Amino acid sequence: MLPEVEWAFHLVPGDQLKYCALWEIERHCGGNLQPWLALTEDQRRRNILSVKGDSFREVLPSAPVELGDLFTEKEVVRFLIDLHEKRNVLVRQFERWLDSRRTNTERHKPRPPACHWKSFLADLVIYRATAAGLQRKPAQDATAPLWKAWKLDNATSGILSAPHWSRALKRAKNRLENSKLSSELPF
């Protein structure tokens, strides 16, 4: 059976859905993390702050630094880093900072398209239910509180229909596979 912490995303406050989805992607990619719903409020808050970038930020030097001619193409940058943060989070934040400092002559990877977090989490529930060996109808019954809370339970041709269920499963597989292949998230 599928444990409630793996699918009951209707219990996540709306302002945390994005962070929950990012966390769950990290879990899927081998982050060896607990489910978002199993985290304490303090752990969730720390994660949200780290995703917002509060655990890694550039700090302006208090005084100019003379480096001489040898370092004309370089600069001294100071960072404020929360060393209690997980390594992969800090690396991801450093990569974002580095990408923001690139010159226009460097090639940038295009930003992935935006995704609605609730939609992704619904797809993830379908993926996990299928991975747990549940067929569509038993999976819907097992996760009924989610569909009811998100008002998807009465839609006859919506995500719970067979064709939409199948497409949602494919979408989830593609998104999760893309997140494994790239340091960028598929959103």
Q: Residue holding tokens 């992969």?
A: 88
Kindly state the DSSP code that residue 58 receives in the 8-state scheme.
Answer: E
List beta partners, residue 81.
56
Could you say which of 101, 130, 165 is where a domain stops? 101
Going by pLDDT thresholds of 50, 70 and 90, the confidence category of residue 59 is: low
The reply to whether 186 falls in a domain is: no
Q: CA-CA distance, 8 to 120, in Å (whole number)?
A: 13
pTM of the model: 0.64
For tokens 């005084």, the residue is 63
End position of a domain, from candidates 69, 101, 133: 101
Q: Please tell me whether residues 83 and 42 are part of one structural domain.
A: no
**Domain containing residue 33:** 4-50+112-181
35 and 63 co-located in one domain: no
List helix spans (H) across the chain. Answer: 17-26, 41-52, 87-101, 117-131, 136-142, 144-149, 162-181
Q: In angstroms, rounded to a whole number, what is the distance separating the alpha carbons of residues 120 and 112? A: 14
Q: Is residue 107 part of a domain?
A: no
92 lies in some domain: yes
Asked whether residue 37 falls in the same domain as residue 64, the answer is no
Within-domain flag for 148? yes
| Final residue belonging to a domain, choices 101, 120, 137 | 101
> Could you report the per-residue pLDDT of 111-160, keeping only the tens digit for each?
544 558 888 899 999 999 999 999 999 999 999 999 999 988 776 567 88
Please report which confidence band the pLDDT of residue 187 belongs to, taking 50, 70 and 90 as the band edges: very low
Backbone angles phi, psi at 2, to 5 degrees: -90, 115
Is 147:140 a contact under the CB 8 Å cutoff?
yes
Q: Which residues 6+ apart lie within 8 Å of 155 measured at CB?
A: 161
Query: Do 167 and 117 share a structural domain?
Result: yes
Indicate if the pLDDT at residue 57 is higher than 80.
Answer: no
Length of the chain: 187
Residues 8 and 42 in one domain: yes
Q: Which of 19-33, 72-86, 146-160 has the lowest mean pLDDT?
A: 72-86
Same domain assignment for residues 68 and 159 = no
Tell me, yes or no, whether 125 and 164 share the same domain: yes
Beta carbons within 8 Å of 140's beta carbon, 6+ residues apart: 147, 160
The verdict on 46 and 118 lying in the same domain is yes
Domains contained in the chain, number: 2
Residue 71 has pLDDT above 80, yes or no: no
Share of the chain above pLDDT 70, in %: 70
> 140 and 160 in contact (C-beta within 8 Å)?
yes
Pairing of β 56-59 and β 78-81: antiparallel
Residue 93 lies in a domain: yes
DSSP state at residue 85: S
